[in-house]
Structure 1
Amino acid sequence: MGTYPDLKLFIDGGWRENAETSPVVNPATEEELGRLPHARISDLEDALSAAERGFKVWSKTPPRERADIILRAASIMRERQEEIARSITAEHGKPLAQARLEVIRGAEFFEWDAGEAMRMYGRVIPSAPGSKISVHHHPIGVVAAFSPWNFPMSQPARKISGALASGCSIILKAAEETPAGAIHIARAFEEAGLPAGVLNLVFGTPSEISQFLIPQPSVRLVALTGSTRVGRHLTELAAQSDTRVLMELGGHAPVIVCEDTDVGKAAVSGATRKMRNAGQVCTSPTRFLVHESIFDEFADRFTERAAATVVGNGVEDGVEMGPLANDRRVPVLADLVKDALSHGAELRTGGQRHGEKGYFFQPTVMTNVPSAARIMREEPFGPIAVLNPVKNLEEAIAEANAVPYGLAGYGFTNRADYIDRMIDEVEVGNFSINTLEASLPETPFGGVKSSGYGREGGTEGLESYMTIKNVWHSASIA
């Protein structure tokens, strides 16, 4: 696997260890990769003080200079693509080819935001003679950010790039199960010349870290990518101190497959994409709502492709799907399948643990799943697809909107009237037509309803990390 990085905290420009640690395990082999130090309260106090000092320096650094440092760090990450990718595969399990793409995607987040930071224009508002009214953007302050385990490098990159490009300092609590991606990012910024205290990286007990950081007066933004349950909890904590939040939460993405589409291509595309990252993607296509006239053909082709997915250790050639990232997901998925079958769903393939070693789960397809089944309401976050027939587009849209989530949605059709209806009526923050790509660094990404609020990426992405000030200048005392 190559060299797995030393696991340390990064605080005030330096690396540190602690006696209290937890193991980081390879989910494909169940072997220990290293011991991750947990931050003590004293470490969090140091990180907060460092971030406060770092903000004073970084917020006054010209956008061009900030961009230069960010771009240097991104270049270092690109140069180390293979090393970082192998670390990601070791701790997360995803195929090496997907890990390599994740490193590039992470670098792209930094590159886009670095450029966008130089285009955060204010404006002058026409006013009466003797007055000038203008709008200014200012970095919000210290950011407390929390990133998940499913994308060890690109998810931390999204938080760090938005904060740093905007002129903020940041304390990031990355995932304890997959820490290497964030550590590689911190290394790159250290070498790129980022001032001490601007980026701080901690690990530990999530509740202890959030309860310490969020109420602090200097923490002005809480940014999370995670579950809806955790997002609500952190939002409640932040509300007690009137702290702004940026929440990218869970999803349960619908895929509307209309009768006029290319059935074979849509089915193969859907099955392939569903198994990416072992389904551990918040935008993963899960609920396939297929017109009844093409349902049987679609289900057959989808099941055939899903069942052919090559499952194994991510470092092996030809592997398309690795293990789940942690052992607790295996029984959760098995229970969801069991519950659906008890309600009358049809199991077309998979449905149980794969192999005897590692946290593998079979690519799973179920059809005709009743609305009473838990999986119709709960995000599986695993390689399980639900295929149900619908009579028409109206029914499909109603089913798509039947869950509280609204992060991503997809549609397959060539009809302009269908496209217009889905764009207008499907309740999601990101909707894609004839593709299962949900976002790019240059597009705003975020959800509606229980999938969160605020946006990352695109021209809108940096606004969450900034305050807007209206300035009214009168030439004389009124």
Structure 2
Amino acid sequence: MYRDLQLYIDGDWRAAASGATREVTDPATEEVLGTIASADEKDLDDALAAAEAGFKVWRRTGPWDRARIIRRVADLIRSRADEIAMVMSLETGKPIGEAKGEVGGAADQFEWYSEETKRIYGQVIEGRTGESRMAVIHQPVGVVAAFSAWNFPALLPARKMAAALGAGCSIIVKPAGEAPASCAALVQACHDAGVPKGVVNLVTGNSDKIARHLISSPIVRKVSVTGSVPVGKQILHLAADGVKKVSMELGGHGPVLMFDDVDAEKVAEMCARTKFRNCGQVCISPTRFYVHESKYAAFSAKFAEVARSLKVGRGLDEGTEMGPLANRRGLQTIQEMVEDAKSRGAEVLAGGQVPPGSNRGYFFEPTVLGRVPDDALIMREEPFGPVAPIATFSSYNEVIERANALPFGLAGYVFSNNLSVATRAYEDLEVGMVGVNEMLLATAEAPFGGIKESGMGREGGSFGLHDYLETKYVKIRLQEQAS
């Protein structure tokens, strides 16, 4: 079911030149699933040379031909959805239903960009004189180095791969070592769909060494990253030396503002089911719940009720609604945050510990904390796990100031039936994305990304394509026409 993975370079799967490998483990059982190749400098140089050659071919491939190939990738991913989802559930622990949904979302990215590649429009500017002609064209930036995260191991690389291919770029993708097989399945779909050799390459191994080697190469002209804020800052420093084009989607700490004119129990159920999706390991997860003080009792009681009702278990087990965290360090961080909040006066309304009897895997109960003070660690740093901290507020200006107090700005959520309040709130929140009475934001046709320390650039939608293009202005002076 889970096979050992090799590198994919210049159209072939191959072992690392050194023969080195790393283990991939199941977060639900802590058992070894298989191994991945660990690339060395020779492998990376081969990938760079392949991507450089592949770019020369792909950039000259017409948009309609690119579109047909990219659409075939989408079709192949959908036809293999069950197989890919099974592998994804094993390497991430997420419930099989969530895994299937993610595979569908990854296919959507390729379908969307198969269509957008035919819509890379330029601009004609009226010349000031009769002899002048001015135009703007968009051209592919070049070879892309893409680094992805483990929490959505198919969707995240799909956003990068599909946009790069749509723009006419070649790409070297480095998936997370915790969950590489899902990305490998996308690469295989590209191979089988007829993407020319060298256009898509996959390398695995030591993330820091791979990043430094690829980004320092003059062959790479664009870097795309999904990861934590510290990782993003490190890569931004590396890219600065070569003045590389960079886009990055980093961590967030999504505030939820629930005003006093909504059904508190209905909103609480929506928030709870969204919060515990993928065990809370979602970059746009709602992570700070600011509830109007008049609605706190009803909201917190319903939230805790939903949390206690969720079935926790292995992703492949029937009926599982929440799986484990992806790794031990994530589990330890969540435990530290809960203990810190309790020490500052927060109330444990549900969960708060490793499930009784659990002695294997990185499981933690769906947890709800009530009346959490703003100085608690969990209110200041992103809780990448199944813990929901709830606080109260009394006025609009107060809650906006508290929501914007952190250096993060990825996603935020507003619940209000008052058009004026909702409009002002989504305008005033310092984030890149806002859901108003809605929590499911990610979709292929919309831009995805944040502001402040949550990143720069956008993935998804037509805006996502332009992060893989360079704008070129052309001015022509016509020669005098012979009489």
The bucket for the TM-score relative to the shorter chain is over 0.9
Q: For 2:32, give the aligned amino acid.
A: E
CA distance in 2, matches of 1:189, 1:42: 24
Q: TM-score, normalised by structure 2?
A: 0.97
Q: What is residue 68 of structure 1 aligned with on the other side?
A: 68
CA distance in 2, matches of 1:192, 1:113: 15
User: Which of residues 441, 449, 452 in structure 2 aligns to 1:446?
Assistant: 449
Cα offset for 1:14? 0.3
Cα offset for 1:373? 1.1
Q: Which secondary structure state, in structure 2, belongs to the residue aligned with residue 145 of structure 1?
A: strand
Q: What is residue 127 of structure 1 aligned with on the other side?
A: 127
- For the pair 1:362 / 2:360, whether they are aligned, the reply is no
Cα offset for 1:140? 0.1
User: Which of residues 380, 405, 423 in structure 1 aligns to 2:383?
Assistant: 380
Once the two structures are superposed, what CA deviation does each residue of 1:208-239 show, in whole Å capped at 9, x if it has no partner? Answer: 00110101111111100000100000000100
Q: Which moved more, 1:210-219 or 1:85-94?
A: 210-219
Q: What is residue 41 of structure 2 aligned with on the other side?
A: 41
Cα offset for 1:390? 0.4
Once the two structures are superposed, what CA deviation does each residue of 1:126-145 show, in whole Å capped at 9, x if it has no partner? Answer: 12211111110000000011
User: Which of residues 5, 15, 21 in structure 2 aligns to 1:7?
Assistant: 5
CA distance in 2, matches of 1:450, 1:359: 28
Cα offset for 1:252? 0.3
Q: For 2:193, give the aligned amino acid.
A: A
CA distance in 2, matches of 1:399, 1:303: 24
Q: What is residue 394 of structure 1 aligned with on the other side?
A: 397
Q: For 1:398, give the aligned amino acid.
A: E
Once the two structures are superposed, what CA deviation does each residue of 1:400-430 show, in whole Å capped at 9, x if it has no partner? Answer: 1111100000011110111111121001000
Q: What is residue 142 of structure 2 aligned with on the other side?
A: 141
Q: Which moved more, 1:4-13 or 1:183-192?
A: 4-13
- For the pair 1:55 / 2:58, whether they are aligned, the reply is no
Cα offset for 1:5? 3.6
> Is the contact between residue 112 and residue 445 of structure 2 (CA under 8 Å) also seen in structure 1?
yes
Q: What is residue 152 of structure 2 aligned with on the other side?
A: 151
CA distance in 2, matches of 1:357, 1:215: 41
- For the pair 1:418 / 2:426, whether they are aligned, the reply is no
Q: Which secondary structure state, in structure 2, belongs to the residue aligned with residue 191 of structure 1?
A: helix
> Is the contact between residue 330 and residue 353 of structure 1 (CA under 8 Å) also seen in structure 2?
no
Q: What is residue 82 of structure 2 aligned with on the other side?
A: 82
CA distance in 2, matches of 1:346, 1:280: 23
Where in structure 2 are the equivalents of 1:14-33 lying within 5 Å? 14-18=12-16, 19-33=19-33
Q: Name structure 2 gaps, 5 residues minimum.
A: none
Q: Which secondary structure state, in structure 1, belongs to the residue aligned with residue 374 of structure 2?
A: coil
CA distance in 2, matches of 1:28, 1:231: 28
Where in structure 2 are the equivalents of 1:321-340 lying within 5 Å? 321-340=322-341
Cα offset for 1:159? 0.9
Q: For 1:393, give the aligned amino acid.
A: Y
> Is the contact between residue 361 and residue 383 of structure 1 (CA under 8 Å) also seen in structure 2?
yes
Once the two structures are superposed, what CA deviation does each residue of 1:332-364 show, in whole Å capped at 9, x if it has no partner? Answer: 110011111111111111122222111111111
CA distance in 2, matches of 1:460, 1:99: 26
Once the two structures are superposed, what CA deviation does each residue of 1:428-475 show, in whole Å capped at 9, x if it has no partner? Answer: 000011111122110011100010000011111111100000111111
Cα offset for 1:374? 1.1
Q: What is residue 262 of structure 1 aligned with on the other side?
A: 263
Cα offset for 1:6? 3.6
CA distance in 2, matches of 1:307, 1:476: 78
Q: What is residue 165 of structure 2 aligned with on the other side?
A: 164
Cα offset for 1:269? 0.5
Q: For 2:170, give the aligned amino acid.
A: S
Q: Which moved more, 1:85-94 or 1:398-407?
A: 398-407
Q: For 1:475, give the aligned amino acid.
A: L
Q: What is residue 430 of structure 2 aligned with on the other side?
A: 427
Once the two structures are superposed, what CA deviation does each residue of 1:75-122 show, in whole Å capped at 9, x if it has no partner? Answer: 011000000000000110000000000000000011111111110100
Q: For 1:401, give the aligned amino acid.
A: N
CA distance in 2, matches of 1:91, 1:332: 20
Q: For 2:153, give the aligned amino acid.
A: P
> Is the contact between residue 259 and residue 415 of structure 2 (CA under 8 Å) also seen in structure 1?
yes
> Is the contact between residue 426 and residue 436 of structure 2 (CA under 8 Å) also seen in structure 1?
no
Where in structure 2 are the equivalents of 1:96-115 lying within 5 Å? 96-115=96-115
Q: TM-score, normalised by structure 1?
A: 0.98
CA root-mean-square deviation = 1.0
Identity, % of aligned positions: 48
